Amino acid sequence: MSRSFVGEARRNVGRRRDRIRPIIHLLAEAHPDATIALRFRSELELLFSVILSAQTTDVNVNRVTERLFEKYRRPEDYLAVPQEELERDIYQTGFFRQKAKSLRGTARVLLEEFDGVVPRTLPELLRLPGVARKTANVVAAELGDPQGIVVDTHVRRLSQRLGLTREQEPVRIERDLVKLVPRADWGRFPHLLIWHGRRVCDARRPRCEECVLSPLCPSSRVVVTEPAQICDTRS
């Protein structure tokens, strides 16, 4: 696709600042069930589920944690067994040796620095072994205080296709998104893009003819004969 065509398509759908609220509104209507797919019952289970979710599917993590969280209920429990035993318990999530080190290291830091309680701020979360910015953003958002926007592969792909960013690096993409997305939507916005990416905007074969965002998307394969009507959903 030529740069001139991309530029023309972006002009036709309107400025990204004008499109962001309608995009959120339409996605929320299309995916009212968009939420985190990991299953957890406590803040500790949330944190450890997200750590285990690296390089594997949420379905796989849920399958492992169903048994894991019955055996390990407190940070102390992860330190009370040999690492090899924990590795066996999380083997199916992949990268089990590094993940076991992360879980044990995080449990130790939680006990030594946070009285066993999961911290809520990004700087504190980032002090935990195995917790990078994406993990910290997920945990903070699910605890009710999003301090950034989670950027995974779906969020990256869809935000680029929608013309919300031209960046490639997750940190730079997040920087663009937090300038556009209303802060009240920081927590749910990634879920909306993730579920839309799974259900409609497939990486290889996006179903643009079924997509509610086609009139607002510069990458849409659907020809829009009328200019996109940007609705103000604030009223």
- Domain spans in the chain, listed from the N-terminal domain onward: 3-30+150-216, 43-142
DSSP string for 4-55: HHHHHHHHHH--HHHHHHHHHHHHHHH-TT-------SSHHHHHHHHHHTTT
- CATH superfamily label, 43-142: Hypothetical protein; domain 2 (1.10.340.30)
Q: CA-CA distance, 73 to 82, in Å (whole number)?
A: 16
Q: Helices 133-142 and 43-52 sit at what angle, rounded to 10 degrees?
A: 150
99 flagged as catalytic: no
**Class of the CATH-defined domain 3-30+150-216:** mainly alpha
Note the pLDDT of residue 9.
Answer: 53
Note the pLDDT of residue 99.
Answer: 98
Catalytic residue among 89, 152, 179, 202: 152
In order along the chain (235 residues), what is the average pLDDT of each group of 10 residues? 49 86 98 97 98 96 98 98 98 97 98 97 96 96 96 96 96 98 98 97 94 95 55 44
Note the pLDDT of residue 221.
Answer: 77
Catalytic residue among 134, 145, 179, 202: 134
176 flagged as catalytic: no
Same fold: 3-30+150-216 with 43-142: no
